[in-house]
Amino acid sequence: MQRKILDSRNKFEDLIQMAKNSEQGMEFLYSSLANLVEPLQNIIPAATVNKQDEFEAFLGGKIPQEVEIHPPNDINSRGRCKRIKKGKEKKAPRKRMCGKCKQLVDHDARNCPNNVVGSYFKFATMHDHS
């Protein structure tokens, strides 16, 4: 049945391609198709196909009335489980030795408050070219 449908569509496409360049050819094709409608309706009674039957025919099986979905028994998450810490539990910033002010503080030479704006970059570029 599917093969006949496919062959019929191919033949119909071929007829359209042959007749598309001529007004007389398209008129003949159109009138011939119009003459086929009534005899075909007499042969095949009008079948009322609802959407569910159409879907089941397309899928090739019955659609269940009630679908039961169960949660998975075991969950394998990727990575490790990590707890989100509260503000009280978070560590204070690590103290480090600043190369500029030579103190144990929570900044380094790049963001030291004693820096003059741009002096670090001038210092670094002068020594890179040597």
Tokens 């090739």 belong to 60
97, 104 contact by CB (below 8 A)? yes
| CA angle in degrees (0–180, nearest 5) for 99-103-105 | 95
**Residue ranges of the domains in the chain?**
2-45, 99-128
pLDDT tens, per residue, the chain with 130 residues: 778 888 988 988 998 888 888 888 888 888 888 888 888 778 776 666 678 888 888 888 888 888 888 887 777 667 777 777 777 777 777 788 888 888 888 888 888 888 876 555 555 555 555 4
Q: Which pLDDT does position 130 carry in this prediction?
A: 46
Run of H or E residues at 14: helix 2-19
Q: Are 3 and 10 in contact (CB under 8 A)?
A: no
